[in-house]
Structure 1
Amino acid sequence: MAGRQAVKAYLDLVSQPCRAVLIFLKDNKIPHTVESIAIQKGQHKTPEFIKLNPMQKLPVLEDNGFVLTESDAILKYLATAYNVPDHWYPKPPEKRARVDEYTAWHHENTHMHISSVFLHEFLLPRMGLPNPEMLEKALSDLDGTLDKLENMFLKRQAFLCSDDISLADLLAVCELMQPLCGGRDILKNRPKLLSWRSRVQSSLSDSFDEAHDIVYRMRI
């Protein structure tokens, strides 16, 4: 938009939601700068960052003095405030409600269970705190979520909410890539979800692999 400064995104690309925000910015050619915040170095707990986001979490978006936290809100704001294709966050109420339905479910299902697998398979073992029983429980919980993705959201359509990519697919795919850090492809025995992931990647072109480069490099 004329006279509008580039938005500033505060990101750590180890974070699934941060990757989703970066991909959306790049894929839609929204002018932006990235401020890298290293969570493992505690940079999200500095006085400067806490002033920006008292929650001490990423991602954070700053747009001409307007500061927004939470990836779901950030993505919906960008889709609404900038001239992006309607399929991302459709204007028709029923289509938009389908995206909202998934994103409301996402945080305590896809995101929570993926984060638990990442914690118990990748982070805690590197701290000398492996817990095989908790990892098995996390994987079992995640299986239930993957079943829902296949049997509910992808039951009759190519993408989670319609026959075109939306914010729901972007949030979900960044989550489902996370276990690759520990060398696990959680979709390898799920052809329906593998096909979906391929469609999402094809829709996103280079921005997908650029954002996930850190995941590929961490893979063991």
Structure 2
Amino acid sequence: MVLQLYFDLLSQPSRAIYIFLKVNKIHFEAREVSLRKGEQYAEEFKKLNPFSKVPFIIDDGFILTESVAILRYLSLKYNVSEHWYPRSDVKAQARVDEYLNWQHLNIRYFEANIFREKLIVPRQEKKPINQTRIDQAKTMLSVNIGHLETYYLKGRPFLCGQDISVTDILAVCELMQLVAVHEEDVYQSNADVAAWIERVKSRLQPHFDSAHANLYAMRERFISAQSSPESKNVIRVQRFVIFC
């Protein structure tokens, strides 16, 4: 059976896996799930993934629901180039795994909090934006973006060495979520990280921009809504989740 990917391109890890598959020319069946419409809560969905989240894959009956595990699995099964996920060099593999384990509570956690506080909470819970919480998350995210520069990059072109890996795709897709809520200055203020993001984008084209098209459009609607609260372009987000 053909590999199936269940995803929503407004989900950061969904974009990472989608781009990885496209760049590596791995054939898959796209199963788009509209999180905004709450399709992840349908009983038929829950039979496949009881966590009601995306992304997840089905590969000949084998279901895998965590994005990091999916990227490792795809790298190993499809024997992609070593630079994506090293197999023969245990230290290089450990360095990639180090980032994959670190990113959840450092880059992802604080980025997701900014996105949630600025977009989801005001529209879903009908509460005013809590700027204090946003500023706190931005401060912590800035610290961790500094770690991207000084610990992971260390003057190298990519997070774990001289060539791109799954860490770069995952990290960039997380940071790009800030574009939707017009907070990209958090990473653009770090020149080395901003330059790294552009390198990663360039390596992943044309799939990078196509995967982020909806996010770019969301950014424009968000800016329009900020300048005119009565605008018809106010974003309506229904039953959003923090994606796995």
> What TM-score, normalized to structure 1?
0.95
- Name the CA distance, whole Å, in 1 between partners of 2:149 and 2:105: 17
Letter in 2 for 1:100: D
In structure 1, the residue matched to 2:101 is 104
- Name the CA distance, whole Å, in 2 between partners of 1:6 and 1:109: 35
Aligned residues: 216
1:7 Cα deviation after fit: 0.9
- Name the CA distance, whole Å, in 1 between partners of 2:78 and 2:47: 26
In structure 2, the residue matched to 1:217 is 217
Calculate the aligned-residue CA RMSD, in Å.
1.1
- Name the CA distance, whole Å, in 2 between partners of 1:137 and 1:187: 15
1:156 Cα deviation after fit: 3.7
In structure 1, the residue matched to 2:229 is none
1:175 Cα deviation after fit: 0.4
In structure 1, the residue matched to 2:226 is none
In structure 2, the residue matched to 1:52 is 48
- Name the CA distance, whole Å, in 2 between partners of 1:182 and 1:172: 17
- Name the CA distance, whole Å, in 2 between partners of 1:209 and 1:142: 24
- Name the CA distance, whole Å, in 2 between partners of 1:93 and 1:13: 32
In structure 1, the residue matched to 2:202 is 202
Q: How does 1:36-185 map to 2 (within 5 A)?
A: 36-91=32-87, 92-127=89-124, 128-129=126-127, 130-185=129-184
In structure 1, the residue matched to 2:236 is none
User: Would the aligned equivalents of 2:149 and 2:155 in 1 still touch at CA under 8 Å?
Assistant: no
- Name the CA distance, whole Å, in 2 between partners of 1:196 and 1:161: 12
> For the structure 1 residues 156 and 191, does the alpha-carbon distance in structure 2 shift closer, same or farther, using more than 3 Å as the test?
closer
1:126 Cα deviation after fit: 2.9
- Name the CA distance, whole Å, in 2 between partners of 1:7 and 1:122: 33
* Structure possessing the higher relative contact order (Cα contacts under 8 Å, 6 or more residues apart): 2
Matched residue SS, 1:10: strand
- Name the CA distance, whole Å, in 1 between partners of 2:122 and 2:192: 31
User: Would the aligned equivalents of 2:142 and 2:187 in 1 still touch at CA under 8 Å?
Assistant: no
1:43 Cα deviation after fit: 0.9
Mark the runs of 5 or more structure 2 residues left unpaired by the alignment. Answer: 224-244
Letter in 1 for 2:18: L
1:50 Cα deviation after fit: 0.8
Mark the runs of 5 or more structure 1 residues left unpaired by the alignment. Answer: none
In structure 2, the residue matched to 1:15 is 11
Matched residue SS, 1:9: strand
1:133 Cα deviation after fit: 1.1
- Name the CA distance, whole Å, in 1 between partners of 2:119 and 2:188: 19
Matched residue SS, 1:194: helix
- Name the CA distance, whole Å, in 2 between partners of 1:83 and 1:102: 21
